Amino acid sequence: MNGLSKESVTWVEVDEGSCEQRIDNFLCKHLKGVPKSHIYRILRSGEIRVNKKRIDQTYRLQLGDQVRIPPVRVAEKPVAEFVPANEFPILYEDEALLAINKPAGTAVHGGSGVSFGVIEQLRSARPQAKFLELVHRLDRETSGVLLLAKKRSALVGMHEIMREGNSDKRYFTLVLGQWKNAKQHVKLPLHKFDTPQGEKRVMVREDGMASHTIFTLQKSWTDFTLLEAQLKTGRTHQIRVHLSHLGFPIAGDDKYGDFARNKALMKQGLKRMFLHAHSITFKHPLTDAVLNINAPLAPELQHFLDKLDGQS
């Protein structure tokens, strides 16, 4: 393998950005270009030492740990693609957490045909940040509250909060049709699959993952209903698939929606999916203070609601 050889042993002191990270994940990040199989081989061989002691791949690094990394052959780095530095509207920020109002049409991270997303642009805009990671994800076409962690301890804490269902995430969505119930619990199991074209999709299926959404009626028009969706579980495309399955597809949804109606809606000014993460409430993972973070409805969505009000 062509590459640059690191001829000498390297010692790395663990800072806050790597604290609590597993040693194998730390090495994958630190030794970019080295195959994972080789990283696990040098871990098993005992060449990697922490505080001069052998460790296994599950060891979690502690602040101040001294990591011994032996000489390894590193593949030459490909020329990195340019990532524009970009900040997004900040809804909340402290030393541990950052909440932004993500615009529709922007992916949260690069991959699957997208060169870069929110996280890469923020890292480019904040080169001094030692640590910046997504706490959760939003679909590319969904706008609203997106949480990021500025400390590993905050990321680990937020993941535990979300895993145990101790966060309250709510969305506004406009659906086609007249929803009747003021409040409705929807529990439909969801199954992920790939289309023949390689696209990731989700469908309701008996053997799928348990999924629970609470829908609350906000406002009705002749052909549309505005709902608030409260997520009790966080499955991929959960709100979109639950609504589509019930016969109330989200206006503008290009995966699970009514494609003929979507075309007509574009002519009426709605050029995106009407799904907006409007609020999240949780206890701060480091201070225990209750946080309620809200994102105002995107202007193009508010404008469409105003048009509906004008026609009624």
Residues designated catalytic: 139
- Paired tokens of 7: 């001829």
DSSP helix/strand/coil, 28:
helix
DSSP 131: -
The answer to whether the Cα torsion of 290, 296, 301, 307 is positive or negative is: positive
DSSP helix/strand/coil, 300:
helix
Tell me the longest C-alpha to C-alpha distance in the chain. 74
- Cα end-to-end span (Å), the chain: 68
Rg (alpha carbons) of the chain, rounded to whole number = 23
Q: What is the dihedral of CA 270, 145, 99, 210, to 10 degrees?
A: -140
DSSP helix/strand/coil, 99:
strand
Q: Which is nearest to 273 in space by CA: 130, 192, 205, 174? A: 174
Q: Where are the alpha helices (DSSP H) in 16-128?
A: 23-30, 36-45, 118-125
Confirm if 145 and 101 have CB atoms less than 8 A apart: yes
Q: How far apart are CA 14 and CA 159, in angstroms?
A: 22
- Paired tokens of 10: 């390297």
